[in-house]
Amino acid sequence: MTVEKQDSNNVGFFVAREETNRVLPGSPEWKTREPNSFNDMGGDYSLLARRPFNPSRQRKKGAIVDLDANGGWNEDVTLSNSVDTIEAVCFAAARAKTTETGVAAVAATDDFTVADSADYIVGNIVFAEGFDNTANNGLHVVNGLTDGTHISTASALTDEAGAAAQSLTVVGYQFPAADVVASVVGATFVLTSTTINPTTFGLIPGEWAFIGGDDAGNQLSATLVGFARVKSVNTTQIIFDKTTFAAGADTGVGTTLRIFFGTVVRNEDDPDDIVKFTHTIERTLGRDDDGRQSEYVDGFVYNELTWNSPLADKVNVDVAGIGANYGTRTGAEGPLNAASGTIIAALGEDPLNTSSNVYRLRMAKVDPATLNPSPLFARVEEWTGKINNNVSPAKAQGTLGAFDTTAGVFEVNLELSAYFATVSPMTSISENDDVTFDAIYSARNKAIVVDFPLIALGGGRLKIEMDAPIMVPLENSAAESDFGHTVLFNFFPYIPSVGNA
């Protein structure tokens, strides 16, 4: 039977990272995406007609002379689905803590079987998922490295063979009892350890951590719990320059302090760390008489990403990119994602929302004299952050489409609408103050931090309407900070419940 139409509900969307430009690895991983909508997806051919002088006043048949291969879509942000996307748009590999799958549990020794115990240190807090036995899931503290492939825990584990779904991730560190003293030094919050070397945690300047656990015994005090940004790390101290709590001193007596950290993705300043990832994106288009058909763009580079945090809505991103080539696959040929590799299903997580999952939105002047400068606004209505790599296609004779892409200047701009309370924002604009902005979303014991360490403010013309609050619309330009990046994303695979918004 001849197919006469296709329905959009039959459309699927997959992304695979290429090994080199336009070349997939031998067994690619096809990540299933969950787009809400598409924009400029596919190939756009340029047809140039012949227009010679002709008494009949008619054109001659032309020819296809160019091809623009693009892709754009909108998708919701969940707590786990955006790392690959942020890596691609930041041109940087994620700085992840140790994580592995296929981990087994051994009851007799309360050990986890790992690939290499050297990847762990005593005191690591690890988060286990995917085990059939609930005793094996959840948080565990590493109390010994049994041998090269086993780490022991303080938990009572149940025997369970390693399966692909069983994972173990380092999510933090538990200090020995009474080991940490907290102090405020100038405009920094300092954790000083008596016996532990914090440089072994893998933290970098600009990264965020969550200080404190759910139990009082894992907190310095109830007032010193929350997120904090790392300024520097040395062999005895972690120094923070930004906190979500009012920093203060604490002797650490009676405390077995826990801190939590996660995966960092930022735009890198070292050229050796800048990586232009290319991808093949494929959209399935229903079935013809022979099977599933599809269209694809290869050599695809993520050019733009807009982080949307609208009022009373879902957090979502608009993604746009430029590819080298466009093609289609008939049902007889089958989709590329079915021809080779593995399809990774979407996790089906709940979206983040801007009503109950916002832990903090804070814009403040950078003040070297204080750790907690007053925010410029008490309340934010909505905000967006746009990353633009200014990518353009590289074209040459003999190639229909592009043979590669060229990356331009990395630009980050923010638009923010806030409730007006005082004239301090306009003062900061006129005086060209250094400003910083962070957005923290948390729910279900996970969190995402988006941090812009250095911003120049623009806009600021008040919006005053009848029977409405006075609003301040701002157009902000982010710039390279002392940390070496313009924007940083922190993905926390686990935070204690006290950190949920």
Predicted confidence at residue 214, as pLDDT, reads: 98
How far is CA 406 from its chain centroid? Answer: 23
Residues 244, 227: contact at Cβ < 8 Å? yes
Residues 317, 82: contact at Cβ < 8 Å? yes
**CA-based radius of gyration for the chain:** 26
| Distance, CA of 387 to CA of 383 (rounded, Å) | 14
Q: Per-residue pLDDT for 1 more than 80?
A: no
Predicted confidence at residue 392, as pLDDT, reads: 98
Residue type, 454: L
Quote the mean pLDDT of the chain. 97
Phi, psi of 499 (to 5 degrees): -90, -5
What's the pLDDT tens digit per position in 172-221?
A: 999 999 999 999 999 999 999 999 999 999 999 999 999 999 999 999 99
* Residue whose C-alpha is closest to residue 385's, from 336, 345, 441: 441
What's the pLDDT tens digit per position in 368-397?
A: 888 888 899 999 999 999 999 999 999 999
What's the pLDDT tens digit per position in 412-424?
A: 999 999 999 999 9
Question: How many other CB atoms sit within 10 Å of the CB of residue 260?
Answer: 25
What's the pLDDT tens digit per position in 356-367?
A: 999 999 999 998
What's the pLDDT tens digit per position in 60-104?
A: 999 999 999 999 999 999 999 999 999 999 999 999 999 999 999
Strand partners, 44: 68
What is the domain partition of the chain in residue ranges?
180-256, 358-499
| Distance, CA of 103 to CA of 153 (rounded, Å) | 14
Predicted confidence at residue 372, as pLDDT, reads: 83
Predicted confidence at residue 332, as pLDDT, reads: 97
| Distance, CA of 268 to CA of 274 (rounded, Å) | 6
Placement of tokens 């994620």 in the chain: 94
- Region 358-499: CATH code: 2.30.110
pLDDT band at residue 16, thresholds of 50, 70 and 90?
Answer: very high
31: left (phi over 0), alpha (psi -120 to 50) or beta: beta
| Distance, CA of 41 to CA of 64 (rounded, Å) | 19
Question: How many other CB atoms sit within 10 Å of the CB of residue 58?
Answer: 8
Residues 283, 296: contact at Cβ < 8 Å? yes
Predicted confidence at residue 373, as pLDDT, reads: 85
Kind and range of the H or E run holding 302: strand 292-309
What's the pLDDT tens digit per position in 432-462?
A: 999 999 999 999 999 999 999 999 999 999 9
Predicted confidence at residue 2, as pLDDT, reads: 82
| Distance, CA of 94 to CA of 490 (rounded, Å) | 10
The pair of structure tokens assigned to 346 is 């979407």
In the chain, what are the helix, strand and coil shares in percent, each to the nearest 5?
A: 10, 45, 45
Query: pLDDT above 70 covers what percent of the chain?
Result: 100
